Amino acid sequence: MSDTVIHVENLGKKYIIGHQQDNERYNTLRDVLANQARSLNRSLNPFKSHSSLPTANTPSTEEFWALKDVSFEIKQGDRVGIIGRNGAGKSTLLKILSRITEPTEGRIKIKGRVASLLEVGTGFHPELTGRENIFLNGAILGMSKVEITHKFDEIVDFAEVEKFLDTPVKRYSSGMYVRLAFAVAAHLEPEILIVDEVLAVGDVQFQKKCLGKMEDVAKEGRTVIFVSHNLGTVQALCSRGVLLMQGTVLADDTADVAVSTYLKNLEQASFQNLLKRTDRQGKGHLRLAQIEISTGGNHPSLTLSTGFSAVFTFHVTGIRQGLSCCFTIYDQYGQAVTYFNSAAHSQDDMTNPQQETKFICEIEELLLLPGRYRINAAIMCDGEYQDDVKGAVFFDVEQGNLRGRPVSSETGYGNTILPHRWLIPG
Ligand SMILES: Nc1ncnc2c1ncn2[C@@H]1O[C@H](COP(=O)(O)OP(=O)(O)OP(=O)(O)O)[C@@H](O)[C@H]1O
Ligand SMILES: [Mg+2]
Query: Separation of 67 CA from ligand 1 center, angstroms?
Result: 9
Helices 145-159 and 130-140: crossing angle in degrees, nearest 10, is: 130
399 falls within a domain: yes
Q: How far apart are alpha carbons 12 and 106 in whole angstroms? A: 6
Judge contact between 94 and 115, C-beta under 8 A. no
Which ligand number lies closest to the CA of residue 84?
1
Claim to verify: residue 119 and residue 238 sit in the same structural domain: yes
Claim to verify: residue 295 and residue 241 sit in the same structural domain: no
In ligand 1, the atom with minimum distance to the C-alpha of 227 is 22
Q: How far apart are alpha carbons 182 and 153 in whole angstroms? A: 14
180 falls within a domain: yes
Which ligand number lies closest to the CA of residue 281?
1
pLDDT of residue 25: 44
Claim to verify: residue 114 and residue 249 sit in the same structural domain: yes
Residues paired with 105 in a beta bridge:
12
53 falls within a domain: no
Claim to verify: residue 256 and residue 285 sit in the same structural domain: no
Count CA atoms within 13 Å of residue 422 on its CB side: 4
Strand, coil or helix: 105: strand
202 lines ligand 1 (CB under 6 A): no
Q: Looking at this protein, which amino acid is placed at residue 104?
A: T
114 falls within a domain: yes
C-alpha 424: how far from chain center: 47
22 falls within a domain: no
Residue ranges in the chain modelled with pLDDT below 50: 20-58
- The helix (H) or strand (E) run that includes residue 52 is helix 46-52
pLDDT of residue 57: 46
Claim to verify: residue 114 and residue 246 sit in the same structural domain: yes
Residue whose Cα lies nearest atom 26 of ligand 1: it is 86
The domain boundary residue, chosen from 267, 293, 311 = 267
Query: Separation of 196 CA from ligand 2 center, angstroms?
Result: 7
Claim to verify: residue 140 and residue 254 sit in the same structural domain: yes
Claim to verify: residue 352 and residue 384 sit in the same structural domain: yes
The pTM score is: 0.76
Claim to verify: residue 250 and residue 307 sit in the same structural domain: no
Strand, coil or helix: 153: helix
Claim to verify: residue 175 and residue 215 sit in the same structural domain: yes
350 falls within a domain: yes
Q: How far apart are alpha carbons 26 and 49 in whole angstroms? A: 19
Strand, coil or helix: 206: helix
Strand, coil or helix: 116: strand
The domain boundary residue, chosen from 202, 234, 267 = 267
List helix spans (H) across 197-254.
204-219, 231-237
In ligand 1, the atom with minimum distance to the C-alpha of 85 is 25
Query: Separation of 90 CA from ligand 2 center, angstroms?
Result: 6
Residues spanned by the domain of 379: 280-406
Q: Looking at this protein, which amino acid is placed at residue 341?
A: N
Residue to substitute in 13, 91, 104, 242 for testing ligand 1 pocket (most ligand atoms within 8 angstroms of CB): 91
Q: How far apart are alpha carbons 390 and 404 in whole angstroms? A: 35
285 lines ligand 1 (CB under 6 A): no
Sheet arrangement for strand 223-227: 114-117, 192-196, 223-227, 79-83, 240-245, 248-254
92 lines ligand 1 (CB under 6 A): yes
Q: How far apart are alpha carbons 135 and 25 in whole angstroms? A: 25
The domain boundary residue, chosen from 235, 267, 299 = 267
The neighbour count for residue 87, using CB atoms within 10 Å, is: 17
Domain total of the chain:
2
Claim to verify: residue 110 and residue 148 sit in the same structural domain: yes
Q: How far apart are alpha carbons 155 and 170 in whole angstroms? A: 19
Q: How far apart are alpha carbons 257 and 263 in whole angstroms? A: 10
88 lines ligand 1 (CB under 6 A): yes
CATH number at residue 357: 2.70.50.60
Smallest CA-to-CA distance from 288 within 151, 381, 406 is with 381
390 falls within a domain: yes
Claim to verify: residue 159 and residue 305 sit in the same structural domain: no
pLDDT of residue 178: 84
Helices 174-187 and 204-219: crossing angle in degrees, nearest 10, is: 10
pLDDT of residue 2: 64
26 falls within a domain: no
278 lines ligand 1 (CB under 6 A): no
pLDDT of residue 140: 80
Claim to verify: residue 104 and residue 179 sit in the same structural domain: yes
pLDDT of residue 115: 85
Judge contact between 6 and 76, C-beta under 8 A. no
CATH number at residue 206: 3.40.50.300
> How far apart are the two ends of the chain, measured CA to CA in Å?
69
